[in-house]
Amino acid sequence: MSDKIRRTPEAIIKSFEMDPDKKAIYVEGLTDRLFFEHLFSKIDNGQTIFFEIDSVEIPIDEGGNRSRLIEFAQKIENSTAKIKCFIDADFNRILNNENLNNAIILTDFRDLESYLYEHEYLNKFIKIGLKTDKITPEFLLNEFSKAKSIAILRLCSTEQKFDFPFQRINENFSRYYSPQTGLNIEKYKTALTQTAVKKPTKEDLDKAIIEANEKCENIDFRHLLHGKDIMEILKEIARYIGYRKDNIDLVFWMSFDSNNIDKYPALKQLEDFILT
């Protein structure tokens, strides 16, 4: 059990209503908090505090920190407290199945990692982070695109409530992917279905995959790919080119350019909230 001290939503609301100059932005986890603290460090006047949702006393059985953020946002919606919740869009724009409110800002794409899938940032990641010329941004984007098959399975799992154990399967990601041979999606899919609590029939899964592919045919891949899958691909690529350090995710995050905030409506909305 965590020994972290959590505050109730009621206590948080009261605290910020009593100090109207203070602002709070709640995010899903540590990486998000540190990323935003760095991203907005030049403009913050000390009145805005970033918090992880784990600091709030909200019991949620399913859905993890994202669900806890949504629940928290519902509790603060009608208060005068200056609080925003920045949440991964996930498949929200594809499924359009959540009631959001003014306290919520959704990522511009599927999740926070999706901001990094641009040529400029990938080039910086390769040249400065990995210090190599063995790969190119085009190579990375091509490898990332292979994760669309996993994204489709994730969408099927969400929409059909298959509850596939992606986290468990990704612990042995090298069994299913390598830069030399690509992604063995059939082997990956078999591992998911064999270890799932709810095992769909082959017919049901095949039908769900066809429907999901049709639904996502013209959708920007940044709205589909899961950041955790991309990080697993990057780890395997790093091994392939001889990058031996274990901090590939941290190096990847450093590639974002804070001067480009205006390109992304959600990040600009967050910036405006801090400044006004």
Residue 276 to residues 82, 214, 259, Cα–Cα distance (Å)? 11, 42, 19
Secondary element (H or E) of residue 133 = none
Give the integer Cα–Cα distance in Å for 185 and 154. Answer: 13
Give the integer Cα–Cα distance in Å for 110 and 226. Answer: 7
CB 221 within 8 A of CB 145: yes
Residue 196 to residues 151, 152, 163, 204, 205, Cα–Cα distance (Å)? 17, 16, 7, 14, 13
pLDDT of residue 46: 81
Residue 215 has a CB neighbour count (10 Å cut-off) of 15
> Does the predicted model carry a pTM greater than 0.85?
yes
Computed from CA positions of residues 54, 56, 59, 65, in that sequence, does the dihedral angle turn out positive or negative? negative
What is the bridge-based pairing of β-strands 83-87 and 104-106?
A: parallel
pLDDT of residue 59: 80
Domain range summary for the chain, segments of one domain joined by +: 9-106, 114-259
Q: What is the CA radius of gyration of the chain?
A: 20
What is the bridge-based pairing of β-strands 182-183 and 177-178?
A: antiparallel
CB 77 within 8 A of CB 101: yes
| Digitized pLDDT (tens) for each residue of the chain, 276 residues in all | 345 688 999 999 999 999 999 999 999 999 999 999 999 988 877 889 999 999 999 887 667 899 999 999 999 999 999 999 999 999 999 988 766 899 999 999 999 999 999 999 999 999 999 999 999 999 999 999 999 999 999 999 999 999 999 999 999 999 999 999 999 999 999 999 998 888 899 999 999 999 999 999 999 999 999 999 999 999 999 999 999 888 898 899 999 999 999 999 999 999 999 998
Task: Cite the DSSP H helix spans in 88-165.
Answer: 92-95, 119-124, 137-145, 148-160
Amino acid identity of residue 220, one-letter, is D
Residue with tokens 């480009």: 260
